[in-house]
């Protein structure tokens, strides 16, 4: 399969596919909480009064890792639950922090027990468990923790989304940060033969609805779409320069690309005919090779359609 990220792990977690490379995932899930824990611990951060800087660092790491991972889990769950309303990316991240901080309360009891021997004599620690939202001091401390978490969580996720071009919780590059009056307006126009062509303009007053596929493709993948692949609630968009996993239903993606000379050849595959390189026999059906080298299976239910619309109009002969 042709892809611009050969080291991309093909895994899903909590209903969300990830297109992070393994080094990117290692940096996100280990590197960043390690760095933040070391920084806060070195500055004797946190609410505990411990006997040494090393103990403060270990304490901070025991906070940063589980809270960071829980923020990721709850941001994913938030994105899934709110998917029908299509909230902005920052809103999903901001909500995902709240349950992570709340669950840090019960973990705090375990943490205190583990570090009991390292507390200085007479040292005290403000209890964050059980929850006590009627206490102004408790609310202020949790608000401080929330703001601190937000200032760390948002920049890292936006860095992965906008700079590295990694899909985050179903959000792709560009869509999350482009203002409506800054977006490129795209609409379909007819050429002289009556076929659909894509007209790209940047007129702010254009009233046409944005194309949900083109607007969310990373810039480095260009706009020449050669095919689609359904992956549960997501669709992988293939271009001549690579592919990108997008939070869009397969049927909606095919409708958005109806101006292209495309056809569905499988329940989960749609291709652009202009980029077909070869059609050859594969067991009882066919396999299509695109100009990029990407191979697409033809299901038996679409076999006759392929024979009628492709094989009958090319020099490729039908299998005997």
pLDDT number for residue 44: 64
Residue 124 CB-density burial (10 A; 0-12 exposed, 13-18 middle, 19+ buried): exposed
Residue 247 CB-density burial (10 A; 0-12 exposed, 13-18 middle, 19+ buried): buried
Mean pLDDT of 153-175: 80
Q: How many domains does the chain have?
A: 1
For residue 234, is it within any domain?
A: no
Q: Name the residue with higher pLDDT: 218 or 198.
A: 218
> How far is the C-alpha of 4 from the C-alpha of 2, rounded, in Å?
7
For residue 147, is it within any domain?
A: yes
* Structural domain for 29, as ranges: 12-163
pLDDT number for residue 7: 38
* 217-238 pLDDT per residue, tens: 888 888 899 999 999 889 999 9
Mean pLDDT of 135-156: 92
The helix (run of H) or strand (run of E) holding residue 116 is: none
For residue 154, is it within any domain?
A: yes
For residue 309, is it within any domain?
A: no
Look up residue 171 and give its two tokens: 């959000």
* 236-253 pLDDT per residue, tens: 999 999 999 998 989 889
Highest mean pLDDT among 107-116, 141-150, 195-204: 141-150
For residue 261, is it within any domain?
A: no
Mean pLDDT of 178-204: 36
Residue 21 CB neighbour total at 10 angstroms: 16
For residue 40, is it within any domain?
A: yes
Mean pLDDT of 41-63: 79
Name the residue with tokens 């401390």. 141
Task: Tell me the whole-structure pTM to 2 decimals.
Answer: 0.55
For residue 129, is it within any domain?
A: yes
What's the farthest any 2 CA atoms get from each other in the chain? 88
For residue 18, is it within any domain?
A: yes
Neighbouring residues of 231: CB distance < 8 A, sequence distance ≥ 6: 17, 245, 268
């Amino acid at each position: 399969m042709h892809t611009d990220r050969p080291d991309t792990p093909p895994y899903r977690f909590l209903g969300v596919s990830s297109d992070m490379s393994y080094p990117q995932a290692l940096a996100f899930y280990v590197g960043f909480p390690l760095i933040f824990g070391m920084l806060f611990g070195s500055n004797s951060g946190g609410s505990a009064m411990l006997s040494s800087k090393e103990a403060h660092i270990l304490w901070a790491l025991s906070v940063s890792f589980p809270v960071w991972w829980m923020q990721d889990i709850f941001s994913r769950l938030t994105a899934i639950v709110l998917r029908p309303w299509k909230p902005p990316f920052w809103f999903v991240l901001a909500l995902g922090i709240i349950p992570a901080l709340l669950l840090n309360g019960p973990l705090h009891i375990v943490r205190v027990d583990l570090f009991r021997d390292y507390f200085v004599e007479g040292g005290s620690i403000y209890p964050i468990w059980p929850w006590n939202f009627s206490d102004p001091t408790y609310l202020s401390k949790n608000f401080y923790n929330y703001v601190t978490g937000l200032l760390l969580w948002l920049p890292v996720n936006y860095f992965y989304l906008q700079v590295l071009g990694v899909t985050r919780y179903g959000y792709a590059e560009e869509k999350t940060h482009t203002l409506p009056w800054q977006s490129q307006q795209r609409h379909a126009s007819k050429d002289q033969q009556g076929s659909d062509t894509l007209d790209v303009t940047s007129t702010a007053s254009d009233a046409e609805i944005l194309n949900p596929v083109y607007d969310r493709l990373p810039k480095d993948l260009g706009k020449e779409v050669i095919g689609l692949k359904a992956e549960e609630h997501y669709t992988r968009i293939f271009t001549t320069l690579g592919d990108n996993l997008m939070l869009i239903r397969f049927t909606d993606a095919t409708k958005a690309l109806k101006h292209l000379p495309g056809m569905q050849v499988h329940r989960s595959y749609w291709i652009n005919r202009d980029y077909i390189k070869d059609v050859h026999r594969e067991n009882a059906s066919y396999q299509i090779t695109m100009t990029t080298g990407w191979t697409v299976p033809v299901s038996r239910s679409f076999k006759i359609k392929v024979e009628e619309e492709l094989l009958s109009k090319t020099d490729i002969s039908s299998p005997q």
